[in-house]
Amino acid sequence: MPLLKGGHAVADAWVHLDDAEPLPPDGVAVTVSGERWERERAVLLARAAPVGVRLGNGAPVEPLAADLPRLGLIALHFPKFSDGRAYSQARRLRRAGYRGELRATGNVLQDQLLLMARVGFDAFQMAASDAERRWQAAVGAYAHFYQPRRTVA
């Protein structure tokens, strides 16, 4: 499962904890589910290591607003590539000032990469082994965009 950042496959520096999994020693960057974040927010924020949240695509992003500066990673999920809720979550998170890594997970395919990048995703967990090539093809497909506001010739 290549993780694409900046167009390159990179190693995932994060440990993604299940809800029941104990916290590793401080120093290890972890992500937790949105539910666990709500429950253990204080403990997680007390750690020195980076912390991230994996948000379900039905969850509102507003409850995270106050914590955004402390989060190093937010992972948004595409259970199917055709379920587009995470696009709006991404827009709302970026609008709320989130500057950390915004990672697309789940059914992440070549033909949606550029759309995802345009709403603020900057990391992509893909199943395809040739993810770098697909990224190049996807971003090379368009140089003209009507949004957020078309460029006037």
Partner 1 sequence: MYRYDEFDRAFLAERTAQFRDQVARRLAGDLSEDEFKPLRLMNGLYLQLHAYMLRIAVPYGTLSSVQMRRLADVAERWDRGYGHFTTRQNIQLNWIRLEDAPDIMAALAEVEMHGIQTSGNCIRNVTADQYAGVAADEIEDPRIWAEILRQWSTNHPEFSFLPRKFKIAVTGAEFDRAAIRVHDIGLRMRRDPGGAAGFEVVVGGGLGRTPLVGRTIRDFLPKDDLLGYLEAVMRVYNALGRRDNLYKSRIKILVHDVGAEEMGRLVDAEFRAIQADGGVALDPDLVRRIQDHFAPPAYASAPADPDAVRALERADPAFARWVATNTAAHREPGHAIVNLSLKPHGRPPGDATAAEMRAVADMAERWSLGEIRVAHEQNLVLPHVRRADLPAVWRAAQEIGFATPNIGLLTDIIACPGLDYCALATARSIPVAERLADRFRDLDRLHAIGPFRINISGCINACGHHHVGHVGLLGVDKNGEEFYQITLGGNSDNDTAIGRIVGPAVSSAEVVDAIERLVETYVAIREEGETFLETCRRVGNGPFKESIYAAA
Report the interface residues with partner 1, using CB under 8 A. Answer: 60, 81-85, 87-89, 91-92, 95, 109, 111-112, 114-116, 118-119, 137, 141-153
Q: How far apart are alpha carbons 15 and 111 in whole angstroms?
A: 28
Q: In angstroms, what is the minimal distance from the CB of 97 to partner 1? A: 10
Q: In angstroms, what is the minimal distance from the CB of 8 to partner 1? A: 22
Q: In angstroms, what is the minimal distance from the CB of 102 to partner 1? A: 13
Q: In angstroms, what is the minimal distance from the CB of 28 to partner 1? A: 33
Helix H or strand E encompassing 15: strand 15-16
Q: How far apart are alpha carbons 65 and 127 in whole angstroms?
A: 30
Residue type, 127: A
Looking at the Cβ atoms of 20 and 151, the one nearer to partner 1 is: 151
Assign 47 to helix, strand or coil. coil
Angle made by CA atoms 65, 69, 73, in degrees to the nearest 5:
90
Assign 136 to helix, strand or coil. helix
